[in-house]
Every structure is written in structure tokens, then in C-alpha cells.
Amino acid sequence: EAGVTQSPTHLIKTRGQQVTLRCSPISGHTSVYWYQQALGLGLQFLLWYDEGEERNRGNFPPRFSGRQFPNYSSELNVNALELEDSALYLCASSSYRGGDYGYTFGSGTRLTVV
Amino acid sequence: KNQVEQSPQSLIILEGKNCTLQCNYTVSPFSNLRWYKQDTGRGPVSLTIMTFSENTKSNGRYTATLDADTKQSSLHITASQLSDSASYICVVSQKTGANNLFFGTGTRLTVIP
């Protein structure tokens, strides 16, 4: 069974640019979660998508947005990049709303904003 | 306030030695607790998951314990190996609602030869 796949693995962007990160969940999983992990810090919840809809979002500005496609893959978009957006962005998928089933994480996308 | 606190923040041990990592939580109502291992720059990988009724669960050299009364969990690593060097994250699920995961900030373990 293929795991959660994220692309690209690494990315360097300039301040003010826009970026799109992609995530493909495990087959059969309908929920996709996005987390930000700044260097040396814990995971911060960004967004949760389930069945194509945004179900919840964390305490991040509106320039962080995303969507989920009919095949349950997801994109995370970040506009007007700032230096502090540099982080590891992790995607996780689950087959159940609410965390009673296992969350499986992807390997992440390392975003560096210069 | 629902929180997960881990200690120590970082730990250095000699290869072959044992160690114990701690996780205290105030998440309520409690659903389950997971320990994840995260190698640098990689996504977290699940080690164990424990529900309210489970006290101990092992996964190879990793043994997790849970005391639901005191809301404490520990992860014990025996006969450490260099490959155990990673961050270990405690994640607690809340019983109600969705996307109800609460993450600890992790313990950074370094195993040296």
C-alpha cells in the first residue's frame, strides 16, 4: 500500500511569491490534514479537508489556503510568502473524521523562503 | 485548556543504554494516545497507540505505558541504537469532535557511540 505522498520534497521561494504544495493520501482515506513545523518547533495544525470540503483551519492568516479534489488529493497554497513561512509542511491522511483511526504522515515538503 | 507536555526537551545517551521519555496531558475527554518517531526532515511515523483501557504496549525495543488516572504516558527505549536518534512526539486524541489531535513539542533524542 502506497503511503501519503507529498511533492515537491524541497522548495526555495522568494519573499512575496506564492507556492503550492501537493499531497496524495493513502488510497481509501478521505481526510487530509496539513501541518506546519518550523525548525525546532512542534507541529502546528493548518487545515483539515474531508470529502472535498474544508472542515477546520488553524490559527493561520487567510493567505494560507487549500483545497481537496474529488480523488481526495489536496493542495496547500501560501500567498505573499514571508520569511517565517520557512518550515517543513506535513500532510497526513486518515480514514475517519476525528482521529480514532490512525493518522499517517507524508515525508513533508521543506519550504525555504529567502 | 487541552495541552500535551513532554519531557525532557532533549536527551543524549550512549548507544546500548536505556531511556524513558515522558508525556503529560490535560486533554479531555481522552480517546487515545500515540507516540510518533520523527527523523530529521521527515514525517512522523507511528510507534504505538494506546486507548483508555491499555496500560502497556510494546513495539520491538519501544514500550509505551499509560496511566489514564494521572494522565501520564512514558516511552521506554531499551538497548538504544544510533538509529533511535530522532524526535519522539506524543499525540493525544480528544474523544469529541474532529481533528481533535493535540501534539506535544517532542523530545529530541541523540544516541552517541
Q: Which three cell numbers stand for residue A75?
A: 493542495
Mean pLDDT of A58-77: 96
Shortest CA distance to B36 belongs to which of A113, A69, A107, A105? Answer: A105
The rounded radius of gyration (Å) of the Cα atoms in chain B is: 14
pLDDT at A55: 87
Contact state of B43 with A90 under an 8 Å Cβ cutoff: yes
Kindly report the average pLDDT of chain A as a whole number.
90
Separation CA B31–CA B27 (nearest Å): 9
A44-50 vs B101-103, strand pairing mode: unpaired
**Residues 28 through 87 of chain B touching chain A, CB cutoff 8 Å:** 31-32, 34, 36, 41-46, 49
For B38-61, how does the pLDDT look when each residue is reduced to its tens digit (9 = 90+)?
Answer: 998 888 999 998 888 889 999 999
List CB contacts (< 8 A) between A42 and chain B: 89, 103-106
> Which of B31, B43, B104 is closest, CB to CB, to A105?
B43
Neighbour-count burial of B82, counting CB atoms closer than 10 A to its CB (0-12 exposed, 13-18 middle, 19+ buried): exposed
Tell me: pLDDT of B4 over 90: yes
